[in-house]
Structure 1
């Protein structure tokens, strides 16, 4: 049974699904109708240590680097429009293949060319992140973002994190006006 989270809430994925080995993190959104350019939102993942610093620049997984060095994190590819129902982009995380020093996997979403197109998350609706068990396709957790991020061009939707022997998921919902580059720098990725 899926747990619906609010901002800051967390759930133990390991307790919800004993023996959990891999998850699909689905991210989705709809752009509000505007008279400007089409919206292109991009999901990414950053594998960090327990202190929140990227393990390496190659552990920043996105549409131009679709797989982490050890293959534990894989991006499904770029959806340029966000059209249609369900997940717009998916990232598969094989928990058992993550390096021992991996403490978190953070999931930012950014608006491609936001500055040029004058776009912000204030123009995005129905944004969500969900975690699905790869073994049986059961949704374990979901966070529907409701914040009006009028100036932000990137957001951290959520994160998987290690707590002892458990993997948990936290709903984050933190906006960044500095875009994806600002998020990457905050996590120690050289951009």
Structure 2
């Protein structure tokens, strides 16, 4: 079965293979190029919790033998074998990558490689399950996240990504939480990575994905103010403690960096009270939730929910205190139980330069939010809803595509009604 970019498929459903092999192939434009496949074993925090979770030619096997990297140099250049039964329960996802060694320094780029493919094989039966051909849209990149194998309700699914990035292996290591200094990799690799690392920000990969999404939706010239409203009612407590809310903040910050000239994300939290918090930027997003929310005794938290006051404050900020020609894009995070009175607020705000993107997390029914698109009596449709059972299981690429799904049509409609200027 041929996979398309962005396609998700079930790998282990009825016929559960004990072992799966991922065969990588490519044709390189020059024999001087050095191309390598690798696997990052990731926790639920989307990061390698230890150096041993990075599997590549310099560290070819996980300590328990669950993942093994082998160089073939035949039609299939390299293979990564995965024994599913041996994988620790702490491993929530495996990201498979291909990088060009020292690509920026040697001016070797993905455009110099053709015929890139991945074959997913049931190792026990020697049966090819899926084939994913990718890379035809790549140019100056030096790294590719080919795809992800991830847990889903007790099974394993595959997400075909095929997205390229600059910065090579160093950028990927930083993105997945690995420290470059003092690594166990071969000296020449570590030196090369250390040289590249200072120019890479942990959020750079996500900004690249946002840029790709904006290009697909023809929004590269759009400027907007971006804000996030975080539910901090009692049912959200676990998501604050386990790092999910921090992850939400970091992933949304990448959107703000592309839309806002100041690269800042405005932040609100609310339960039955609300608070405006300091805006977050690339310079200070680390530990933001811990420092500004959880450890802030002055903030009311984990009470009941009431969305109306915080929505009124958002409107007040962008239409009275900081009136501007720029539209505002608001991501509203909630885990259920929205009060029905928000419909009146949204209807009244339809004449304002604000678009509300509600994101429901968890297994609530979100009855009120599901009806946003069918609400009548508005000048324009100024709100959208998307539901994610598990925020951490969605890839950045899919998240940004869905977050920005209706914003472009609102921009056009709001401009026609002279609510905003384009």
Q: Report if TM-score (shorter chain) is over 0.5.
A: yes
Matched, 1:26 2:23: yes
- Separation (CA, whole Å) in 1 of partners of 2:45 and 2:155: 17
Q: CA deviation at 1:38?
A: 1.9
The size of the alignment, in residue pairs, is 180
Larger Rg: 2
- Separation (CA, whole Å) in 1 of partners of 2:145 and 2:123: 23
Q: Is the 8 A contact 1:41 1:111 kept in 2?
A: yes
Q: What stretches of structure 1 move > 4 A for 4+ residues in a row?
A: none
CA offsets 1:105-140 (integer angstroms, 9 cap, x no match): 111110112123211001111001121001101111
The structure, 1 or 2, with the larger RCO (C-alpha pairs under 8 Å, 6+ apart) is 1
- Separation (CA, whole Å) in 1 of partners of 2:103 and 2:72: 16
- Alignment match of 1:125 (pick from 99, 102, 114): 114
- Separation (CA, whole Å) in 2 of partners of 1:55 and 1:76: 23
- Separation (CA, whole Å) in 1 of partners of 2:168 and 2:51: 17
- Does the residue aligned with 1:14 lie in a helix, a strand or coil? coil
Equivalent residues in 2 for 1:24-173 (5 A)?
A: 24-32=21-29, 38-77=32-71, 79=73, 84-85=74-75, 87-173=76-162
- Does the residue aligned with 2:162 lie in a helix, a strand or coil? strand
> Normalized per residue, which structure has more strand?
1
- Separation (CA, whole Å) in 2 of partners of 1:177 and 1:31: 18
- Separation (CA, whole Å) in 2 of partners of 1:135 and 1:91: 14
- Separation (CA, whole Å) in 2 of partners of 1:78 and 1:18: 28
**TM-score, normalising length: structure 2:** 0.41
Unmatched tracts of structure 2, length 5 or more: 181-422
Q: CA deviation at 1:54?
A: 1.0
The alignment yields a C-alpha RMSD, in angstroms, of: 1.5
- Does the residue aligned with 1:39 lie in a helix, a strand or coil? coil
Q: Is the 8 A contact 1:54 1:60 kept in 2?
A: yes
Change in CA separation of 1:4 and 1:174 when aligned onto 2, cut-off 3 Å: same
Which residue does the alignment assign to 2:2?
A: 4
- Does the residue aligned with 1:18 lie in a helix, a strand or coil? coil
Q: Is the 8 A contact 1:25 1:129 kept in 2?
A: yes
> Normalized per residue, which structure has more helix?
2
Q: Is the 8 A contact 1:26 1:129 kept in 2?
A: yes
Unmatched tracts of structure 1, length 5 or more: none
Q: Is the 8 A contact 1:63 1:78 kept in 2?
A: no
- Separation (CA, whole Å) in 2 of partners of 1:78 and 1:158: 20
- Does the residue aligned with 1:53 lie in a helix, a strand or coil? coil
- Alignment match of 1:183 (pick from 139, 150, 172): 172
CA offsets 1:53-96 (integer angstroms, 9 cap, x no match): 113111000111011122101011374xxxx42x1100100011
